[in-house]
Every structure is written in structure tokens, then in C-alpha cells.
Structure 1
């Protein structure tokens, strides 16, 4: 699985107020979590986690 297969993308993370290299860091963290638990790969869950990480 790759970041491109996540239910959200960089634009979604940026819309939460995250900028620069931090966007990629957030997406990598989300990918790690989804790899551990694929059921987390929903838009709502990932946006919630991204808000916490941002």
C-alpha cells in the first residue's frame, strides 16, 4: 500500500491548516497506522487522525 491509496491526500491535510513538509509527515504517519489496521482507511477516520497530528 502507498500514500496514494489513502482515503485522503495532501490537499485534505493542507485544508486542515498543515503546511510544508509536515503534510508528507502526517500522510506517512497515517499510512503507517493504516498498514497496521486497514479498517482505518476511511475519509472520516483519517481526517480525524490528521487533525490530531497536524
Structure 2
């Protein structure tokens, strides 16, 4: 479901949460890469950067 990108077309966000070291950043980068290769522009923001914005 995440890789298909329907949630992007609906202008929804994706929050990946969990404890340290389980691969949240890796998963976010993998999803972003797949969507970029499909022609969908994307960006990834950490919670720390979002709270400062």
C-alpha cells in the first residue's frame, strides 16, 4: 500500500514511528526512492526538523 502511492495522490502524510534502530529512516528512503523512480517528487523530513519549522 505504501509503495503503490495512493496516499500521495490523496495528499496524505506517512508517519513511520518506532523505537531506535529498527530501520525507520531506511524505510522512508526506500519508499522515497521508489516513488522518485516512478516520477513522483518527494521529500523526507525528520520529526526534529518538522518541529523546528
TM-score, normalized by length of structure 2? 0.39
Q: Which fold has the larger relative contact order, with Cα–Cα distance below 8 Å and residues 6 or more apart in sequence? A: 1
TM-score, normalized by length of structure 1? 0.38
